[in-house]
Structure 1
Amino acid sequence: MTDALLVAAGAILLTVAVGLVRVLYGPREVDRMMAVQLLGTGGVAALLLAAAATEVAGVENVALGLALLSSFASVAFVVASPRADRR
């Protein structure tokens, strides 16, 4: 069972790596931000799968920290984005 979890974590990391290309070469800021959200979500998923497959202590805490940082990055992007309806 642990092998299947680690293979799933590897597949998720592969899709996250493809998303990293989108971060680097995205045409717009919104595309880049969505790719960063993919990186955060995929990273959390891979970390949680690795934590379930192994007995390494603290991996769940790292996943939680990554989830918090990812959500704060999204909020910061929305707050900093220029909007036409601001007065």
Structure 2
Amino acid sequence: MMVLACLLLVSIMVGLWRVILGPSRIDRLIAIQLFGTAGTAMLLLLSQSQSMPALLDVALIFALLAALLSAALVQYLRSNLHDD
């Protein structure tokens, strides 16, 4: 499990690098979506390793919020694209 957690942490760091230096808005949006997916996976790993079933509910809520945030960011970027 430690290997999976380290891989998720590395993917989050690569995503953060892409958010900071990403050449386009789409790259940044995909990196932000990666944060939601990797964060949910980290919560699921933590829930399994610590035997805390309540974290499963938190991971589910986090996944739903990440999906809503992605949809909101797409709408925001679409409206800003037409304003330019």
User: Could you say whether these structures have the same fold, taking a TM-score greater than 0.5 normalized by the shorter chain as the test?
Assistant: yes
The structure-2 alpha-carbon separation of the partners of 1:51 and 1:6, relative to structure 1 and needing over 3 Å to count, comes to farther
Match of 1:44 in 2: 40
Gaps of 5+ in 2: none
Letter in structure 2 aligned against 1:49:
L
Gaps of 5+ in 1: none
Among residues 5, 30, 34, which one is paired with 1:34 in the alignment? 30
The alignment of Structure 1 onto Structure 2 pairs a total of residues equal to: 80
* 1:60 aligned onto 2:76: no
Structure possessing the higher relative contact order (Cα contacts under 8 Å, 6 or more residues apart): 1
TM-score by length of 1: 0.77
In terms of fraction of residues, the more helix-rich structure is 2
* 1:69 aligned onto 2:50: no
Root-mean-square deviation (CA, aligned residues, Å) is 1.7
Q: Is the 8 A contact 1:6 1:49 kept in 2?
A: no
Match of 1:17 in 2: 13
Q: What does the per-residue CA deviation read over 1:17-70, in whole Å, with 9 as the maximum and x for residues that have no partner?
A: 221111122111111000011111111111101111112352112211221111
Q: Share of identical aligned residues, percent?
A: 39
Q: Is the 8 A contact 1:16 1:42 kept in 2?
A: yes
Q: Which has the larger radius of gyration?
A: 1
TM-score by length of 2: 0.79
Residue 76 of structure 1 and its aligned partner are, at CA, apart by 0.8
* 1:8 aligned onto 2:10: no
